[in-house]
Amino acid sequence: AQSVAQPEDQVNVAEGNPLTVKCTYSVSGNPYLFWYVQYPNRGLQFLLKYITGDNLVKGSYGFEAEFNKSQTSFHLKKPSALVSDSALYFCAVRDKAGGSYIPTFGRGTSLIVHP
Amino acid sequence: DGGITQSPKYLFRKEGQNVTLSCEQNLNHDAMYWYRQDPGQGLRLIYYSQIVNDFQKGDIAEGYSVSREKKESFPLTVTSAQKNPTAFYLCASSLTGGVNTEAFFGQGTRLTVV
């Protein structure tokens, strides 16, 4: 089975500082990895995905993610955090089920950016 | 506007009642999904559908039912057999069930048992 893990329930960072939200993966074959963001009482929004190629993937709202095969990690990063970045972040992979692949999510990491 | 629409945003259910949550998409996506979100538990898959007139159980299908009679619509019924239905329900769709396709989500329905 394909899976992802988010080791931190919560990350706190001061506005203007760089932020990192961690994700590790366990997949067989080529990894295809995703990050989503959820604001309170809203659905998830797609941020970025890794398919193949560059290990640094750029996404929406200034976020990027670094893929590291040797560490089986796909950490989400942003050089300078904003208070408005405070939200719940989910790492995801598609797990095989029958003839298709189902979006499967980590438990989520709550990012709190302090003014 | 293209997107995925869930309704209602808030729903209250009495004990022993069945209720149906609506999910409609105009993205021409083949695949649709229902998730349940509880605090601290992430998203758990209830049902999914890869094509019209076909759907499969997810990890927590007991007490729920779905239909997929049209490509655009994937309603979820929470039956009286679901013992603890209070949760935030999310519907999602993707172009295909392929391994590298991202999912698009509706705004969610918050169901409360009263």
Nearest to A98 among B33, B56, B108 (CB): B56
Measure B65 CA to nearest chain A CA, in Å: 18
CB contacts, 8 Å: A108 with chain B = 42
**Residue B62 near residue B21 (C-beta atoms within 8 A):** no
> CB distance A90–B104 less than 8 Å?
no
> According to the model, what pLDDT value does residue B15 have?
86
Give me the mean pLDDT over the A3-17 stretch. 97
Residue from B105, B107, B111 whose CB has the most chain A CBs within 10 Å, to mutate: B105
The pLDDT value recorded for residue A76 is: 98
Percent of chain A at pLDDT exceeding 70: 100
* Mean pLDDT to the nearest integer, B22-47: 94
Instruction: Say yes or no: B39 contacts chain A, CB-CB below 8 A.
Output: no
Q: How far apart are CA B30 and CA A20, in angstroms?
A: 34
Cβ of residue B102 closer than 8 Å to a chain A Cβ = yes
Instruction: State the average pLDDT for chain A.
Output: 94
What's the pLDDT at B40?
Answer: 78
> What is the per-residue pLDDT for B83?
87
Report cis status (omega within 30 of 0) of the bond before B39. Answer: no
**Residue B96: predicted pLDDT:** 86
Asked if the model's pLDDT at residue A81 lies above 70, the reply is yes
- Chain B residue with CA closest to A105: the answer is B43
In order of A42, A52, A113, B104, the CA distances from B73 in angstroms are 20, 33, 38, 14
3-state class of A15 per DSSP? coil
Q: What is the pLDDT of residues B64-96, one digit of tens each?
A: 999 999 999 999 999 988 889 999 999 999 998
pLDDT at B41 exceeding the cut of 90: no
Residue B77 pLDDT: 97
Dist CA A104 CA A92 (whole Å) = 5
How does pLDDT run across A20-67, given as a tens digit for each residue? 999 999 988 888 999 999 999 899 999 999 988 889 999 999 999 999
What is the structure's pLDDT at B1? 59
Residue B108 has pLDDT above 90, yes or no: yes
